[in-house]
Structure 1
Amino acid sequence: MTLDGLALAHRRARSVGLGGARPFSGAAEVVGWFGALQSQDYQPAKWAVAQRLGPGVTDADLDRAFDDGVILRTHVLRPTWHFVARADLRWLLELTAPRVHALNAYAYRRGELDSALLCRTTDLIADAVAGGNHLTRTEIATLLARHGVIAEGFRLGYILIHAELERVICSGVLRGKQHTYALFEERAPQAASLEREAALAELVRRFFTSHGPATAKDLAWWSSLTRADIATGLSLAGQALESTDVDGVTYWSAPGDDPAPAPSPSVRLLQAYDEYIVGYRQSKHLLDLGGLTAAAPDRPALPNGVILVDTQVAGRWKRTVRADAVKLEAVLYRPFGAAESAALQAAADELGMFLGVRAVVSAKLLGAHS
């Protein structure tokens, strides 16, 4: 580990809301801090929000925030789901939807979804969900079939993504465990537009404030923006951001003194799509300065969850939720001392409180037999 790398990692952990107290007042403030927070898997994504809010927040609390439209879920930035604060939904989509459409072009062709058909299906869906008539994916497929449109699996997915990117639909209320789609204008009627340059400046500022220190290549991955757009955004952001060069690489972040490291050891149970994990491409190595992940011989391509000790990946975990307990199976990439083991149990207990059940931990060293 280099001192510079570790200092960057400590500062980054603070920025993403994991390295010390950050006074977020609710789910919308957490999501708005990032601009958008990846929510490819809805259940773990709620846990990522809760970890930034601290003890006392429950899974049911976040379901209510979602049903109330405090945070919404749609495809934005990249061809994947993100949580977005209601106030940010319009300008973010206006800025990034053209880029996501371009990334989806092959999929549209593969599904034989030309512009005329996509416009027709979007109009049909808009009419169907108007008036608060939130519909499930299956109900939308049935609706389209009645109008002679084959909409199943992969093809249905991209029909729905297109309608989301066109700011026609977004997430509706949960119906049990099923997700629904709702009319955009009914869920986010007051969401503001921004002029393109203002939107660029705002997205660039938010990324480097919430993810920094990070690089322009990290932002290009995260946002799908072109390098030219990022350069424009950096220029427009002005003194809201500062840069530092480490080993020939330029890192951007919000101005300010380096924070004091959080008490150590601190253990976090991150879901695999947490912004601390997926928000980076060029500088992702800062999560693993000791090379533990690279040395793990049987690691999955994307683990169910990541065990973070202070700022560094130290293992993986998966959870099994039962009626009375959450079972947490931890695979450690190195031996844990007594303090780290206690911190792991405390992190599991926090997850248990979030889910409303007790937490049971079983941990083993990678490569050790059960």
Structure 2
Amino acid sequence: MTHTTARPRITDDHRRALLATRHLLTPATRATTSEQVADAVLGLHATDPASVYLTVAARMAAPSTADLERALYTDHTLIRMLCMRRTMFVVPRSLAPVVDASTARAVAARERTGLLKTLGEQLGYDEHRLAALEQEVLVALAGLGEATAAQLGEAVPELQQKIVMAPGKAYEARPRITSRVLGVLAAEGRIRRGRPLGSWASSQFRWTVAEPHPELPADAARADLARHYLAAFGPATTEDVKWWTGWTLTATRKALAGTEAVDVDLAQGQGHALPEHLAAPADPGPWAALLPALDPTPMGWRGRDWYLDPAHTTELFDTNGNIGPTVWWNGRIVGAWTQRPDGEIVTAALPGIRLTRDARTAVTAEAARLTAFFGDIRIRPSFRTPLEGRLRA
């Protein structure tokens, strides 16, 4: 007789309880350092500079811009990388070699191929000429210590050459090659972003020479990253892992097979969980959070039905799949928030959601924490989502 063992079943409540504590979203689990936050969520989305600070602030007991600046620019314990899904992340330094070998290396190779194709077609570059230009940039940057793109353009005049983007289109542009060349050097981990020119919300920054990452075998690195992902975001489906990493389905399945994950049943179908996450977690208690645009928590899974009603997706995401600022209550997205030009933090519940008095009180308290963190700083989102746009207006 053949006996079959049923897969463990993990409920949505189980997943929401894990999310609350592992992502440091309850008052009792808040962090004391920026490194603890980055470890908890594996990486901070860094496309929008302000999101990095707001992601950390939402999870710290005493939010501090100085602490994150220390980690980024003094101790270098957090590293900014172009990696998963060709997206900018800030990751723990200990994880940077794994991210580099598993995802960033392939992204950088595609970036280099695209740059060489453009420079070759428009300016007659080949690999040797591009390499010579890059070496001149690295020498100049080493001499300067740190420099803006404009300063590097003055030090290396060849960077001021222009290319044509989208020729013949209404949005045709003729930018200098500076940002493209620096972008490839950064993707390869040869240079890195330094301190911003303005406030912590500024998108203008300086460059400095970076230390190279130790090289790891790609297959082993993918398995290691898959395990880290499940530690932070599991249980999760194969599609979740594939989407978050940007890997092919074959690479995703191979990476998951290299972890100690076990198959489980989720409300969304078959998934994967680490053994330590099978037991039902303790009730985290009530909690509220105001998370920024592109926060790692709402952007952690491809399948979001267990924390976001699909009917509300169009209110919170732009047409490119970027999520705006969200209001959370007990493991579900229940609304959105924005900062108005006068500094006021305003929130609104999603259509059809009525918050209890306790929920409204907790959300108001989080808005006050966020207001205190902003101080005199004002931000403008890099992209607009429908509900956030209506709130701002």
Task: Place the TM-score, normalised by the shorter chain, in its bin.
Answer: 0.7 to 0.9
The aligned residue for residue 79 of structure 1 is 86
CA shift in 2, pair 1:219/1:194, >3 Å: same
Q: Is the 8 A contact 2:116 2:130 kept in 1?
A: no
Q: How does 1:214-233 map to 2 (within 5 A)?
A: 214-233=236-255
> Distance in 1 between the 2:359 and 2:101 partners?
45
| Corresponding position: 1:313 with 2:319 | no
Are the aligned partners of 2:338 and 2:347 in contact in 1 as well (CA < 8 Å)?
yes
Q: Size of the alignment, in residue pairs?
A: 349
| 8 Å contact from structure 1 (residues 16, 275) kept in 2 | no
1:1-370 equivalence runs, <5 A: 4-18=11-25, 21-22=28-29, 24=31, 26-52=33-59, 54-68=60-74, 69-101=76-108, 104=111, 108=115, 111-112=118-119, 116=127, 118-130=130-142, 133-146=145-158, 149-150=161-162, 153=175, 155-177=177-199, 178-185=204-211, 192-238=214-260, 241-247=261-267, 249-256=269-276, 257-264=279-286, 266-281=287-302, 283-288=303-308, 290-294=309-313, 296=315, 301=319, 302=322, 304-320=324-340, 326-333=343-350, 334-356=353-375
Answer yes or no: is the 8 Å Cα contact 1:56–1:353 preserved in 2: no
CA contact (8 A) 2:78 2:92 kept: yes
Q: Give the superposition deviation at 1:65.
A: 2.4
Distance 1:150 1:144 in 2: 14
Q: What TM-score, normalized by structure 2, do the two folds share? A: 0.76
Say if 1:73 and 1:171, in contact at 8 Å, map to a contact too. yes
Q: Percent identity?
A: 20
Q: Summarize deviations over 1:25-73 as a string: whole Å, max 9, x none.
A: 5222332344432111111211212323x22121232223222123222
Distance (Å, rounded) in 2 between the aligned partners of 1:90 and 1:279: 21
Change (3 A) 1:247 1:21: same
What amino acid is the match of 1:129?
A: L
- Does the CA contact (< 8 Å) of 1:316 and 1:330 recur in 2? yes
Secondary structure of the structure 1 residue equivalent to 2:253: helix
Distance change >3 Å, CA 132–CA 106, structure 1 → 2: closer
Q: Does the residue aligned with 2:275 lie in a helix, a strand or coil? A: coil
Provide the C-alpha distance between the structure 2 equivalents of 1:250 and 1:21, rounded to a whole number of angstroms: 32
Q: Which has the higher strand share?
A: 1
Q: 1:295 to 1:192 in 2, by over 3 A?
A: closer
**Which amino acid in 1 is paired with 2:141?**
V
Q: Which runs of 5+ in 2 are unaligned?
A: 1-9, 164-173, 378-386
- Counterpart AA for 1:134: E
- 1:276 maps to a residue whose letter is T
**Aligned-residue offset at 1:319:** 1.3
Which deviates more from structure 2 when the two are superposed, residues 107-116 or residues 168-177? 107-116
Residue ranges of structure 1 left out of the alignment (5+ in a row): 359-363
Paired residue secondary structure (1:194): coil
- 2:88 alignment partner AA: W
Task: Look up the equivalent residue of 2:344 and give its one-letter code.
Answer: K
Distance 2:313 2:99 in 1: 35
Partner SS state of residue 313, structure 1: strand
Query: Is the CA contact (8 Å cut-off) linking 1:292 and 1:313 kept in structure 2?
Result: no
> Radius of gyration: which is bigger?
2
- Structure 2 contact 230–236 (Cα < 8 Å) conserved: yes
Question: Using a 3 Å threshold, how does the CA distance of structure 1 residues 348 and 181 change in structure 2: closer, same or farther?
Answer: same
Task: Specify the alignment match of 1:361 in structure 2.
Answer: none
Instruction: Give the conservation status (yes or no) of the 8 Å contact 1:10–1:261.
Output: yes
Report the CA distance between 1:273 and its aligned residue.
0.6
Are the structure 2 counterparts of residues 353 and 173 from structure 1 closer, same or farther at C-alpha, using a change threshold of 3 Å?
same
State the Cα distance separating 1:148 from its structure 2 match.
Answer: 5.8
Q: Is the 8 A contact 1:20 1:262 kept in 2?
A: no
Name 2:170's counterpart in structure 1: none
How many Å apart are 1:129 and its aligned residue? Answer: 1.8
C-alpha RMSD of matched pairs (Å): 3.5
Question: Deviation digits for residues 86-135 of structure 1, max 9, x if unmatched?
Answer: 23323422332343146547854774467625534432322222156111
Change (3 A) 1:132 1:331: same
